[in-house]
């Protein structure tokens, strides 16, 4: 039972004794006591005035006096207007430490019985993963971990966008300029090779557009009528018609990309329970479009394209099928959504997709509702902000993106350089150092990205992210390693570890109080779908430990009972840090 739960029960008894009334626990509002006042928790008494029929000050005074007289764990109180500041006894905090340390499942909320699917990553097979994908993957994976801690059954899924006009562009450029080159011949990962030809297509397109404009064609018209774009569109039609040569080329080039993606996922520590492919789900979407057309929900234009008129809903007209019969993103999203809800009977489906797709998901839910699917309201778009660099935004078509593989390597090298500068590698073998550099590099990358509220656009700076001081992953990793070092020394010296009711000092009370709020942070973060809350909680806990370690004797404490309890406290801190950072997908090293 955490402090809020404990005091809630005591205050319910106080209200019953003082006013003869049984009130719902929801009427009790607690908050952390402000630093300028003495107390651990503050009860807001205004909701109780109708029950007490007294002034705020008199109500607070009466409840505080009753608690002090009848609850041995309440050591004092003070009243500031309509607020009752309550001080809990040191024995409460030492007992709380013992309870928390003994709870192996601490931080895991009870099972909700709900099944939630989280879709993230969703790459296109025409380019390698880049920094934007990194934020998507890290956010999606940590949200899935967070919801599992919240008590949901979670399914992590990926939808690979392996068909469409963008795929045909890279295929066509490879046919025209690749001379049959393979990833092995090029000495590149397959996703990088294909990404080169996507950029190449854009170069060829620009050249043709320039030539048409020079011949007197308006630029907008030239962009639509460039021969190479027409070829790509024709290739897409042939693919959907099952043309053998086109499909064979598509399979070969996509195979190269999948191998590259898998390598990057392994480097990031990302995994999925299931992977869907747009090439397999778009047909279900086309069936839904045909059904909606027959029911009069959609309509067909003269060119054969199929649309949904959403103007009556304050939106616009949405294309669902092109005039040549080929599908668009919305087509496959409709089919994929129906397939997933039918397969898993989902309670909620969360799409982790950037905020540039806000309108797309607004339309998706609305069309599914029009088609009569009651579960449409269970769809949630976790819209996140873009990642920018000091030099500006990234552009895939122009090849100005920060490649995920290059970024992972850069983080490794930055971790290596920083560790060598700080001299934190004493007694470690080369293999241990190599593992540490990977752990620190990925920890820095993940933490720097996840600590920012998902809705915010963020500026990424690799050097800043790897700082061993401040709100960074390496700072928390180093804190954990420091605690583990103390515990190893304690074991070597034969020190006993365990909470045993010894007196606690004020700083220990504040740390135990912070630890006790961890389940509440899981609940808060889960409801907000914001792992940033957990990241910043871990930083606050690490910061509290470092100040405590600076000011307090631990191994040198002469009182054995006090020393044992302090060792138990820091062991619990390390355990909670591991759990919190584990939600973020970050490993904490045992030594640094």
Query: Which residues constitute the domain of residue 251?
Result: 120-388
Domain co-membership, 146 together with 195 = yes
Beta strands in 120-167, from DSSP E residues, in sequence order: 153-160
Among the listed residues 340, 339, 282, the one whose alpha carbon sits nearest the alpha carbon of residue 155 = 340
Is the confidence at residue 466, as pLDDT, over 90? no
Nearest to 257 by CA among 326, 182, 313, 190: 190
Q: Is it the case that residue 397 has pLDDT exceeding 70?
A: no
Q: What is the mean pLDDT of residues 93-99?
A: 94
CATH code of 434's domain: 1.10.730.10
Whether residue 393 has pLDDT greater than 60:
no
Q: What percent of the chain has pLDDT over 70?
A: 98
> Alpha-carbon distance 429 to 417, whole Å?
16
Average pLDDT, the chain: 94
Question: Which of 359, 388, 417 is the C-terminal boundary of a domain?
Answer: 388
Q: In sequence order, what DSSP letters do the residues of 343-408 get, joined into one string?
A: HH--SEEEEEEEGGGHHHHHHHHHHHHHTT-GGGGGEEEEEEPPEEBTTB---TTTT-S-BHHHHH
Find the radius of gyration of the CA atoms of the chain. Answer: 30
Query: Do both 384 and 446 map to the same domain?
Result: no
User: Which residues, including other chains, have CB under 8 Å from residue 442's CB and lie 6 or more apart?
Assistant: 267, 268, 269, 408, 411, 586, 587
Listed residues 328, 359, 388: the one ending a domain? 388
Residue 590 lies in a domain: no
Crossing angle of helices 165-177 and 190-214, rounded to 10° = 90
* 99 found inside a domain: no
The answer on pLDDT for 395 being more than 70 is no
Question: In the listed set 388, 418, 436, which residue is the last one of a domain according to the structure?
Answer: 388
- Contact criterion met (CB below 8 Å) for 442 and 555: no
DSSP code per residue over 18-75: HHS----GGG-EEEEPPTTS--SEEEE-GGGHHHH-S-HHHHHHHHHHHHHHH-TTEE
* pLDDT tier at 399, thresholds 50, 70, 90: very low
Residue with tokens 């025409």: 126
Instruction: Write the CATH number for 80.
Output: 3.30.1360.70
Report the domain count for the chain: 3
Out of 47-61, 85-99, 417-431, pick the least confident: 417-431
* Whole-number Å distance between alpha carbons of 139 and 445: 12
In DSSP terms, 11 is beta-bridged to: none
Q: Are residues 374 and 409 in the same domain?
A: no
Q: What is the dihedral of CA 389, 393, 397, 403, to 10 degrees?
A: 20
- Specify if 93 maps to a domain: no
Exposure string for 71-110, b = 16+ CB within 10 A, e = fewer: bebbbebbbbebbbbbbbbbebbbbbbbebbeeeebbebe
Residue 97 placed within a domain: no
Per-residue pLDDT tens digits for 211-226? 999 999 999 999 999 9
Does 591 reside within a domain? no
Quick one: which of 359, 418, 410 has its CA closest to 389? Answer: 410
* Predicted local distance difference test score (pLDDT) of residue 392: 54
Q: In this model, does residue 425 exceed pLDDT 90?
A: no
Query: What is residue 396's predicted lDDT score, i.e. its pLDDT?
Result: 44
pLDDT in the model for residue 398: 47
Single out the residue of 466, 583, 470 nearest to residue 533, CA to CA.
Answer: 583
pLDDT band at 499 (very low <50, low <70, confident <90, very high): confident
327 strand-pairing partners: 321
Give the mean model confidence (pLDDT) for residues 524-551: 97
503 and 560 part of one domain: yes
The CATH number of the domain holding residue 228 is: 3.40.50.620
pTM: 0.90
pLDDT in tens, 100-130: 999 999 999 999 999 999 999 999 999 999 8
């Amino acid at each position: 039972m955490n402090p809020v739960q404990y005091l809630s029960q005591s205050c319910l008894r106080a209200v019953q004794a003082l006013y003869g009334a049984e009130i719902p626990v929801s009427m009790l509002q607690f908050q952390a006591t402000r630093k300028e006042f003495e107390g651990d928790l503050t009860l807001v008494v205004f909701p109780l005035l109708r029950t007490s029929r007294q002034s705020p000050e008199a109500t607070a005074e009466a409840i505080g006096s009753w608690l002090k007289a009848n609850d041995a764990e309440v050591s004092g109180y003070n009243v500031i207007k309509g607020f009752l500041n309550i001080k809990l006894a040191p024995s409460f905090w030492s007992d709380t430490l013992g309870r928390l340390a003994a709870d192996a499942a601490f931080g895991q909320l009870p099972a909700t019985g709900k099944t939630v699917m989280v879709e993230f990553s969703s790459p296109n097979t025409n380019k390698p993963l880049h920094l934007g994908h990194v934020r998507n993957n890290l956010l999606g994976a940590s949200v899935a971990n967070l919801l599992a801690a919240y008590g949901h059954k979670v399914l992590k899924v990926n939808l690979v966008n392996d068909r469409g006009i963008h795929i045909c562009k890279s295929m066509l450029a490879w046919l025209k300029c690749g001379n049959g080159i393979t990833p092995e011949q090029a000495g590149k990962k397959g996703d990088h090779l294909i990404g080169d030809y996507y950029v190449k297509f854009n170069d060829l397109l620009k050249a043709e557009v320039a030539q048409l404009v020079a011949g007197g064609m308006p630029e907008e018209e030239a962009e639509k009528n460039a021969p190479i774009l027409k070829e790509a569109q024709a290739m897409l039609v042939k693919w959907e018609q099952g043309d053998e040569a086109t499909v064979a080329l598509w399979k070969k080039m996509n195979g190269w990309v999948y191998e590259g993606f898998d390598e990057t996922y392994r480097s990031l520590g990302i995994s999925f329970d299931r992977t869907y492919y747009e090439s397999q789900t778009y047909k279900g979407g086309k069936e839904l479009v045909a059904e909606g057309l027959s029911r009069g929900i959609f309509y067909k234009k003269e060119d054969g394209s199929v649309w949904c008129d959403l103007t009556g809903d304050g939106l616009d007209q949405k294309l669902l099928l092109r005039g040549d019969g080929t599908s668009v993103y919305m087509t496959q999203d409709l089919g994929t959504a129906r397939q997933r809800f039918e397969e898993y009977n989902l309670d909620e489906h969360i799409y982790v997709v950037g905020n540039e797709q806000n309108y797309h998901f607004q339309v998706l839910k609305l069309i599914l509702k029009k088609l009569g699917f009651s579960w449409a309201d269970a769809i949630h778009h976790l819209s996140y902000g873009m990642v920018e660099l000091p030099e500006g935004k990234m552009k895939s078509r122009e090849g100005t993106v920060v490649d995920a593989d290059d970024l992972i390597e850069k983080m490794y090298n930055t971790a290596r350089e920083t560790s060598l500068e700080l001299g934190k590698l004493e007694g470690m073998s080369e293999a241990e150092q190599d593992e540490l550099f990977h752990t620190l590099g990925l920890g820095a990358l993940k933490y720097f990205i996840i600590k920012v509220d998902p809705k915010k656009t963020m500026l990424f700076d690799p050097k800043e992210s790897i700082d061993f001081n401040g709100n960074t992953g390496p700072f928390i990793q180093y804190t954990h390693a420091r605690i583990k070092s103390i515990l190893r020394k304690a074991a070597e010296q034969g020190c006993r570890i365990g909470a045993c009711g010894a007196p606690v000092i004020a700083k220990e009370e504040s740390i135990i109080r912070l630890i006790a709020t961890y389940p509440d942070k899981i609940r808060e973060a889960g409801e907000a779908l914001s792992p940033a809350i957990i990241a910043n909680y871990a930083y606050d806990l690490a910061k509290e430990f470092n100040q405590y370690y600076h000011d307090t004797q631990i191994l040198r404490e002469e009182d054995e009972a006090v020393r044992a309890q302090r060792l138990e406290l820091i062991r619990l801190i390390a355990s909670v840090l591991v759990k919190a950072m584990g939600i973020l997908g970050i490993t904490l090293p045992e030594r640094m």
